[in-house]
Copies of this chain bind each other. A is one copy, B any other.
Amino acid sequence: MMVVYFKVSGIIPFEQALEGMREMTKKTFKKKGDDVVNMNLALIDAAVDACQEVPVPATLDGVGCVDDVKLIPDNASDFAKKIIEPSMRQKGDDIPVSAMSNDGVIPTGTACLEKRGIAPRVPHWNSENCIQCGICASACPHAAIRTKLIEKENLKDAPKSFNTIPAKPALADEEFKVQVYCKDCTGCGVCVDQCPANKNPEKPALTWSSIEKEEEACELVNEKFFDELPDNVMGRNTTKTIKGAMLRKPLFEFSGACAGCGETPYVKLVSQLFGENMIVANATGCSSIYSGTFPTIPYTTNKEGRGPAWANSLFEDNAEFGFGMRLAVDQNRSTLKTYVEKVLSNEKTPADLKAALEEAISHFENSKTEEAHAAQDKAKEVLAKYKDVDCPDLAKVRELQDYFTDKSVWIIGGDGWANDIGYGGIDHVLAQNQDVNILVLDTEVYSNTGGQASKSTPTGAVAKFATGGKRTYKKNMGLMSMSYGYVYVASVALGADRAQTLKAFQEAEAYKGPSIIFAYAPCIAHGIDMSKTQTEQKRAVEAGYFPLYRYNPDNEVPFTWDAKDPKGSYQEFIRSEGRYKSLMKTNPEAAEALYTQAEEDAAKRMAVYKAVGELMR
C-alpha cells in the first residue's frame, strides 16, 4: 500500500521513497532474520510491478455490490434477520435496543451464517484414496471438513455430485463421506498436512482446489445435503476412537480463530464428545473471542436441539464462574428430584404423568445416555400436557425439567488465564473437589493480546516482557494440580497422540471430581508454519519438549506416562521455531546459554513428573 501511495501521489521522488522503504524494511525485520527481510523486499518489488490503475465507473449501476448479495437465508431466525444481517452490512447502529433480548442471552448456532469464503485454496476429497481415519476432521480448526456415516436409504434423494464410499469396517447399508465446507474453510492446510493417505503422493486423499472449482463441482449443494442428513446418533457409542468421535456433528463450528489454530481442534473435540449436555465457562483470551464475538456464536446444536450453553465472565474469575455453574446445576437437580418425589407421592397425579416422571427420574444418576434422553423428552412432553393443572409442585418440576439431564461443566481458557491471572481461582476450585472439567489451551504465551510471556512460557522463549528470552522456568502447574491427590490431571497434544487426547477427555468427563487438562496448542505467536500446527505438536512431544501423561485418582495406579522416550532433538525443535530462534539474532550468547538451560529444565521437569506420578497414590 505504501508503494502504491508513493507511486500515485508523487509527494516525494518515487526512487527516494523506494529507497526509504527498503531501509526501513531492513531495520524493522532485522531481528526476524534474512529470510523475512528478503520476503518483505521482494514484496516491495512485486508491488512496484503490479501497481495498475483501476478506473472508477461513472455510476454504480450494474456494478455488483454488497447490498445486492443475499447474506442470510430466508428461513433464518428472527435474531439472524434483525441483528446479524444488519451487523454484517455494517448497519449495526440502526438496530434498535429493543431488538435485543432483555438479559443479553443470544442464540447459538449462528457462525454458520457467515459464509466468508476467505480461503485462497480449499481441500478436495479424492474419495478413492481415503482410508476413513477421520484425522482431517480432527485436525481442522474450523470444522470445515467433516465425516459422516450415511444409511444408504438416506441417499436416494442425493444430488448426483454427492459421492460416498462404502464404510469400512463394512457396516451394512452404510456409506462414508468426507464433506468440505468450502466457504467456511480458511485454507490453512492442516488437513492436507495431516492426511495419512497423502504420504503416498500418487494416491492422495486430499488435494488442493479453489472455491470456484469446488463450487462448479456442486460442493455447496453437497454441503447442504450433507448438513441435512441425520446426525450420527450411533456416534454416541463410537466416541472411543477419533474416527468414531469425528462422525459426530461438531457442536463448535466455523469460529473466527486464526487459520491453523492449535486451540480450536480441542474445543471442537470436546463439543463432539460432550456438547449435547455441556455448559462452558470461558476465560477471556483467544477462546472468548473466537467463541463469542457478537453477534454470531460458533457453538451450535444437533438436530434434537441439544448443544452447549456458553458464557464468558472476567479474566480473573473464570474458574469460580464455572464452579458456580456446577453448584447451581447440583442444587437445581436436587430440588427437581425433591419435587418429582412430591408429585409422585401425590395420589391425584395422573397415571401417564407418574409413569413418565418415574421413567425420567430412574435415569437421574446416569442421565446422559440415549435412553435417558428419550425418557427426559417423554417426561417434558407429558408435563406440557398438564401445564394448566394448578399444582405448585408440578409447576416447580416443569420449571426445572431441563435438569433431569445432568450437565457437563467445562471451564476453558488459555495458559495466561490458567497460570497467571485466573490461577488463584483455578487452585481454589480444584481444591473444592467438585465435578468440573478445566481445559487449558496452552500456547505458552498470551496469544490474544499479542504474545506476552505467561508463567507457562518456557526458559529461553522470546515473548513480550521477555524479549531477551524468558529467564525463569515454565510453571509446573500439572504437578501443582496433582499435589491435591484428588484432581484428575492430564497433559495432551492432539497431533502427537490423538488416542491419548481422546482418552484424557473421556477420563476427565467420567471422573466425579475436578479435572484439569493441559493441551499443547501451537500458535501464530510461535513463529511457525501454521499449516503444520498438528505436526508441530508431534515434534514437540518427540523432542521431549511437551509431556504426555494422565493422573487419574480413580485408578489403583493413578499415574500414566504416555510419551515415548524422546527421539527427536530438543535443540533442533526449539531452534526451528521463530519464538526461540529470534534470540539467536539479537543475543546469540544468551541464546546458547538459555537453550541449554531450557533443555535441562525440560528434562528435570519430565523426571520430576514421572517420579511424583509414581508417588502420588
A148 at interface by CB-CB < 8 Å: no
**Pick the contact of A455 from B431, B472, B612 — CB < 8 Å?**
B431
**Which residues of the other chain, B, contact A604 by a CB distance below 8 angstroms?**
485, 617
Shortest beta-carbon distance from A323 to chain B in Å: 14
**Chain B residues within 8 Å of A486, by CB:** 472-473
Chain B residues near A455 (CB, 8 Å)?
Answer: 428, 431
Query: What is the minimal beta-carbon distance from A485 to any residue of chain B, in angstroms?
Result: 6
The residues in A between 487 and 509 inclusive whose CB is less than 8 angstroms from any CB of B are none
Among A433, A486, A607, A615, max chain B CB count under 10 A is at A615
Stretch touching chain B among A207-215, A417-425, A556-564, A577-585? A417-425
Q: Say how far A468's CB is from chain B's closest CB, in angstroms.
A: 14
Is A471's beta carbon under 8 Å from chain B?
Answer: yes
Most buried by B among A425, A476, A607: A476
Q: Which residues in chain A, 565-610, are within 8 Å of chain B measured between CB atoms? A: 601, 604, 607-608
- Residues in B whose Cβ lies below 8 Å from that of A433: 471-472
| A475 / chain B contacts, CB cutoff of 8 Å | 431, 483-484
In the bound complex, residues from chain B placing their C-beta under 8 Å from that of A611 are: 611-612, 615
Instruction: Give the chain B neighbours of A485 by CB distance below 8 A.
Output: 473, 601, 604
Cβ of A88 under 8 Å from chain B: no
Beta-carbon contact of A483 and B472 below 8 Å:
no
Number of copies: 2
Residues 410-450 of chain A: 1 if any B CB is under 8 Å from the residue's CB, otherwise 0? 00000000001001110110011100000000000000000
Interface centre among A433, A475, A617 (most CB of B within 10 A): A475
CA distance A432 to B472 in the complex (A): 7
Chain A 170-193 near chain B by CB (<8 Å), digits 1 or 0:
000000000000000000000000
Cβ–Cβ < 8 Å partners of A607 in chain B: 615
- A328 within 8 A of partner (CB): no
Interface: A480 (CB within 8 A): yes
Tell me the minimal C-beta distance from A320 to chain B in angstroms.
11
Q: How far is the CA of A459 from the CA of B479 in the complex (A)?
A: 21
Chain B nearest CB: distance from A540 CB in Å? 21
CA distance A423 to B616 in the complex (A): 23
What distance in Å separates the Cβ of A193 from its nearest Cβ neighbour in chain B?
Answer: 35
With known contacts A608-B612, A615-B608, A427–B431 Cβ distance under 8 A: no
Taking the closest CB of chain B, its distance from the CB of A488, in whole angstroms, is 15
Which B residue's beta carbon lies closest to that of A316?
B424
For A617, the chain B residues whose CB sits under 8 A away are 604
CA distance A573 to B279 in the complex (A): 45
Please give, as numbers and ranges, the residues of chain B lying within 8 Å of A420 by CB-CB distance.
428
A49 to chain B, nearest CB (A): 51
Hey, which chain B residues are within 8 Å of A608, CB to CB? Answer: 483, 612, 615-616
Q: List residues of chain B with CB within 8 A of the CB of A428.
A: 420, 423, 455
**Complex Cα gap A427–B480 (Å):** 11
Supposing A420-B428, A431-B475, A475-B431 touch, asked if A483 and B484 sit within 8 A by C-beta, the answer is no
The residue of chain B having its C-beta at the shortest distance from the C-beta of A477 within the complex is B483
Least distance between A487 CB and chain B CB atoms (Å): 10
> In the bound complex, what is the Cα–Cα distance between A399 and B528 (angstroms)?
50
- Report chain B residues within 8 Å CB of A480: 479-480, 483
Contacting pair B423 A427 (CB below 8 A): yes
Residues of B within 8 A of A473 (CB): 484-486
Binary contact readout A98-141 vs B (1 if CB under 8 angstroms, 0 otherwise): 00000000000000000000000000000000000000000000
- Nearest CB in chain B: distance from A473 CB, A: 6
Among B424, B431, B432, B484, the residue within 8 A (CB) of A424 is B424
The list of the 3 closest CB pairs from A to B, nearest first, reads A424-B424, A476-B483, A480-B480
Give 19 pairs: A residue, B residue, CB < 8 Å, sorted on A: A420-B428, A423-B428, A424-B424, A427-B427, A428-B455, A431-B472, A432-B472, A433-B472, A472-B486, A473-B485, A475-B484, A476-B484, A479-B479, A480-B480, A483-B608, A604-B617, A608-B612, A608-B615, A611-B612
Residues of A participating in the B interface, judged by any CB pair closer than 8 Å? 420, 423-425, 427-428, 431-433, 455, 471-473, 475-476, 479-480, 483-486, 601, 604, 607-608, 611-612, 615-617
| Known contacts A433-B471, A475-B483, A611-B611, then 10 further A-B pairs from the complex at CB < 8 Å, ordered by chain A residue | A423-B424, A424-B427, A428-B455, A431-B455, A431-B472, A472-B486, A475-B484, A476-B484, A608-B612, A611-B612
